[in-house]
Structure 1
Amino acid sequence: NIQEANENLSLVNHDLTLSNENINRLNARLQESETDFKRLVEQAPVPILVFRGEDLVIDIANHVMLDLLGRDASIIGKPLLAGMPETENAQAVDLLFEVYRTGKSFDGSEAPVPITRNGETSTGYFNFSYRPLMDNGRIIGVMDVAIEVTEQVLARKRLEANEQRLQSILDTMAEGLVIMDNNCVITYVNHMAKNIMGVTEEQYLDRKYNDAKWQNLRVDGSPLPAEDHPMNVVLRTGLAVYDQEIALLLASGKKIFISINAAPTVDEQGNVTGGIATFTDVTNRRMVLQQKEDFISVASHELKTPVTSLKASLQLLDKIQATVKPEMLAKLVSQANRSLDKLSDLINSLLNSNRISQGRFPINKKEFALSHLIDDCCQHLRTSGSHDVILRGNIDLKINADEQLLDQVIVNLVNNAVKYAPESKEIIIEVQQVGDDAKITVTDFGPGIAESKLPYLFER
């Protein structure tokens, strides 16, 4: 009936009123919740963006994020690629769309993102966190929390570039470089250090400067006490040392000489924390110096021969000057002149001895008879009468060579025969032609050369 229908309608209307009131309360609560969320985002001290929908429309951007992006609130309400078109090909943006499609969160670090600020586009670096926004299990948007780390990344890249340049310098240095801690343990070596020492990096690291793999020596060959080693001096005193030479006997048995510069490393309080040493292989330099000294020594010794011969001629001339025959006078004068010529040649050699260190020792060849050269070499012995020099073989042989240098060699051999075989009065010089070469043999009848010394015979 009509009354019953009205009552039912009244009940339905009441229920609808209650439902509408509930909906209004829920909407109010939702609005309040969204307002609270928006207020929370806007007041957050970190940059936050909230995107809605599949086009990632910018729904909320707090002032920290706007300042970070160099934008104003006009980008709110625009799709991301419309509001910030420069980010279209950025990987971080692709990941943002991926989070919206999959609903999976993503955290990134130091992601490069093109950013336009003050009309200029540059690359910024960001650490970010993408979180999907869900509504009853349905994705409705994405929240982006980002922190700019551009300055840190650029600073690190500059540091890495500087480290790479430094490493390149260390790797191409002509000097070896070693770094040690305050316990004298090696913590770093460059390529040249490994080359000079003939060891690998693994054989170097965690060893001490006085490791048994190599022996530290003084330049005279005696053992170098640990406390006198340049690195020990640096770590003990905190003072740098410069151009200190030591010798090293390597595991291979090879002996080398190195010149060391070393300085301490210190902390902020000035405490010594370790040391750095650079060193150069000066073995060749020392060999050249030694050869020069040996050359001067040998040449000085050879000076005695023409001086002795000249003195003998003058003494003989002095004794017989009253009764000397013209032919004898001419012979003695000629002999004295030859001795003076040799003396002059030797003096020139001494004055030009720097040619050795410069790697130049010219040979002046000419043709001459060996018999004449040998006669001149042995004239001082014939004059003194101390030894008989017997010339054998092809005495008329002529050769093309440096007469002065060959004279020095033969004089050296003859003088050695006199020195080391004093009881042997005969010295035999034999000349032979062997193919296109000439062979000169000087023989005495002394005890000979010990076999152990034969390998060192031509070192000087």
Structure 2
Amino acid sequence: MNKFSNSSDPAPMVAADIVKLLTEGVQATVIFSSREMHIGFINKAMLELWNRKSIILGSRLAVEAPEFDKFIPILQEVWDTGTAFVAAEVFADINHDGKLIPTPFDIEYRPILDVTGNTIAIINSAMPVNERMEKSEALRDKAVEERLLNVSLEDKNEQLNAVNQQLEALNKEYVATNEELKKLNEQLAALNEEYNASNEELHLTLEEVAVLNERYNISNLVLQELNEDLNRNRTQLTNALRAASLGSYDLDIASGLMECSDQCKLNFGRPPEQRFDFSDLQQCILAEYRDIFYEKVQQAISEKSSFNIEYQIQWPDGALHWIQANGTPQFDSSGTAVQIIGVTKLITEKKNYQAKKDEFLSVASHELKTPITVLKANLQLLDRLKSKIENTTAVSLIDSCNRSMDKINVMLVELLDVSKYADGKIELNLSTFNVNDFLQNSVLHLPFEELHKVELNSLKLEITADENRLEQVMINFINNAIKYAASSEKIIISATEHENRVKFSVQDFGDGIEVEDSKMLFDRYWQGDKKGKNSDGLGLGLYICAEIVSKHKGTIGVDSIPGSGSLFWFEVPKSQH
């Protein structure tokens, strides 16, 4: 403390004092913290004027009080220009139990500017002026009555003078006055009729008011029932999310603030009482998954669709975990993304189980490789000797064993491949080759039935890639078309050029694939409904195809209409360098 300072000098007000002053003050006040009119602060007096018990801080004025939409352009002009707006006796619609009542206010919108002159907030104060306007109107009415009374007094004085001057004339005009009196009586009778008619109208009006009151009471009951249904639905949703260990979140894109459920915070290793915003989320995602995360979110916003992504995170205690996140962007009237709403689920246990299963399959497949090789060699030896065997049953058994051995070999190859891809041990053997020759080789040894007509649409183009791996993908596509679209009379195999990429496709005209099944076709170990058809392998073929294409920095997919056939395709760059 400065030794020359006066201890009796008042201390400067701090932010907490100002907030307390605004909160407890009788002046109705609300503070908007963005050009979109996000509500950063509101005191009790303003809540009472708005006829609200509470609002959600951080939400927009258009969401919390849509009845004040007409004032938003004025507020935004104050924000843009930095110039205050003051107006007296402005009418605003106040929501009273679902009914908008025009109510007069004196209002002031005063911008708060930073050191650079930019608006950082707007303080909105309002004062109801019903009583003042009623008093002003009463004073005006009284003044009018006084003026009328003065005029009337002046008229009376003039009439009195005229009466004094014309007293004798009035005596002479007594008969004429009686006639006028008769006319006045007739006018009075007419006024009485009008008065009776007004009473009847008033009676009808009172009946209409009673009917409106009854409708109002019925509306209140309906609204109460709807609120009860809404609360029940919210409770059911909360219970369902809790039962599934799903955490919900609501992200405000502009501010990066997130409203998270307790379960959502627990999924990321945070206690329920701690804030968890988008910046915290980005920080806990491991670096190798961030670009994929941003890409998925941006794609969902640009395509106005939902996203589903799995990524690895690190908890505050250093432990590594896996998260599955789903989200759907929300857009304003101009089409700008303003929110993302979604759910998260902790899938660490599932991922660990998957890793253990992959490890087991890798070990098992390598252990099986040697005895299967021996069995295959013995069967090949038997196959050479079967022409000398006279027992037809033995020959049939040898053929059956060979077919079974081929199936086992396919399964073993798939298991070995999937374990390599899971461990990231697959390396591409790049070479430059002709696309037309590549497609010709892919169909050279495939078992086409006589009913299949193969149409080949190729390119005279050279690309650089792992020819054997891509041929593995094409053969898988073609085999699936032969096996699962046996009724298709035509199979179209194509290659098309798209700028610096080449797209390969196999189209059949069989039964097609259901939409739900097509979403999971490239998942590991997934096998859909084959409608009674035999299935060789373990559901790994298309998963391995997807990994091969991904290794080439390409994309893979299927377009199918149930009942009209399927088109399997993949697209890779012309060069991998």
Query: RCO greater where, 1 or 2, for CA within 8 Å and sep 6 or more?
Result: 1
Alignment TM-score, normalising by the size of structure 2: 0.27
Query: Larger Cα Rg: Structure 1 or Structure 2?
Result: 1
